[in-house]
């Protein structure tokens, strides 16, 4: 893996995939990142201690269900369909 310096708070999805261990280490040290795909922000990575949770709403240690895909289709929804829907909403470049 190539050594990179993490100094920017905005990163591309490919950059994150290619250097995930480097970014995990940076997040453990308190850094935060906004991840972009096709020049649009898609999610943020922050240290877990900076995320506030209502403990009554958690499904387990640190987990919260946002969408239960088994309610849409028995057995869930294939990841490819979810990603295609996200691409339709956010567009592709």
Query: For 38-93, what is each residue's pLDDT tens digit?
Result: 988 888 888 888 777 666 666 666 667 777 778 888 888 888 888 888 888 887 64
Over residues 7-21, the mean pLDDT reads: 86
SS3 state at 58: coil
Round to whole Å and give the CA distance between 17 and 11. Answer: 10
Q: Which domain holds residue 61?
A: 52-93
1 and 46, same structural domain? yes
pTM above 0.75, yes or no: no
24 and 47, same structural domain? yes
| Nearest residue to 2 via CA among 14, 26, 18, 25 | 18
Q: What is the arrangement of strands in the sheet containing 33-37, beginning at the earlier edge strand?
A: 10-12, 33-37, 40-45
What's the domain count of the chain?
A: 2
67 and 84, same structural domain? yes
Q: Pick the residue with more confidence: 59 or 13?
A: 13
């Amino acid at each position: 893996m190539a050594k990179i310096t993490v100094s920017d708070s905005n990163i591309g999805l490919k950059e994150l995939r290619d250097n995930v261990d480097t970014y995990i280490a940076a997040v453990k040290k308190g850094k935060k990142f906004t991840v972009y795909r096709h020049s649009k922000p898609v999610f943020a990575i922050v240290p877990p201690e900076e995320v506030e949770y209502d403990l009554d709403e958690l499904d387990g240690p640190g987990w919260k269900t946002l969408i239960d895909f088994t309610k849409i289709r028995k057995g869930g929804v294939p990841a490819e369909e979810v990603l295609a829907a996200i691409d339709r909403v956010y567009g592709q470049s």
